[in-house]
Amino acid sequence: MNLSVLEGNVILELLILSNMWCLTNLQFSLSEYLCNNINIHNVSSLFVVALYYQLKELEVASINFIVIHILDVLKSIDSSSLSAEELQLILNSDLAFVNELDIFREVCQWIKNNQDHLHPDDKTNILSAIRYQLMNNDELSEVRRSELVFSDTIILDVIKKSLTQKFNDRGRFEPNVNFARENSIELSQIDGCTMIALKHPSNINYIEMKLTLLWPFTHSYYIEVSVDMNVWLRVVDHSSYDCRSIQRLWINPIYVRYIRVVGTSNTSNKPFEFLKVMYNTDNMHLVEIKNRFVAPKYNVALLSMNALVIKGSFFGERTVETNNCIFNDDYKNYGEDLGYTFHFLDLGECIEIQLAQPYVLSSMRMLLWDRDGRTYNYTVQVSVNHKDWDMVKDKSNKSAQLWQLLLFEQRPVVYIRITGVRVKMPLSIRKQDKTFNLVYFEAPAQVSLDPKVTKPWKSISQLLNRK
User: How far apart are alpha carbons 68 and 13 in whole angstroms?
Assistant: 27
Please tell me the predicted confidence (pLDDT) of residue 40: 92
383-391 contacts, C-beta under 8 A, 24 or more apart: 383/413, 383/414, 383/415, 383/417, 384/240, 384/241, 384/242, 384/358, 384/412, 384/413, 384/414, 384/415, 385/240, 385/241, 385/242, 385/414, 385/415, 386/242, 386/414, 386/415, 389/417
To the question of domain 303-442 being in CATH 2.60.120.260, the answer is yes
- The helix/strand count (H/E) of the chain reads as 13, 15
The residue extents of the domains of the chain are: 3-170, 179-280, 303-442
User: In this structure, are residues 335 and 371 in contact, taking their beta carbons and an 8 Å threshold?
Assistant: yes
Q: Which one is the CATH code of 179-280: 3.30.70.2660, 2.60.120.260, 3.60.140.10, 2.40.50.100?
A: 2.60.120.260
User: In this structure, are residues 6 and 441 in contact, taking their beta carbons and an 8 Å threshold?
Assistant: no
User: How far apart are alpha carbons 27 and 19 in whole angstroms?
Assistant: 6
Sequential pLDDT tens for the chain (467 residues): 888 888 888 999 999 999 889 888 888 889 888 988 899 999 999 999 999 998 887 887 888 788 878 899 999 999 999 999 999 999 888 767 678 899 999 999 999 999 888 888 898 889 888 888 888 889 889 988 998 888 888 888 888 887 777 666 666 677 888 988 875 566 666 666 888 888 877 888 999 998 876 656 788 899 999 877 887 888 999 999 999 889 999 998 887 889 999 888 764 445 688 899 999 988 888 899 888 899 999 999 999 999 999 988 876 666 666 678 888 877 777 767 777 888 888 788 899 999 999 999 999 999 998 878 889 999 999 999 999 999 999 999 999 888 999 999 999 999 999 999 988 888 777 667 788 889 999 999 988 766 556 677 777 777 776 54
Put simply, whether the predicted model's pTM sits higher than 0.95 gets the answer no
| Cβ neighbours of residue 32 closer than 8 Å, sequence gap 6 or more | 57
Fold match, 179-280 / 303-442: yes
Please tell me the predicted confidence (pLDDT) of residue 268: 46
Q: Could you give phi then psi for residue 77, rounded to 5 degrees?
A: -65, -35
Please tell me the predicted confidence (pLDDT) of residue 267: 43
Q: Inter-axis angle of helices 43-53 and 56-68, to 10 degrees?
A: 140
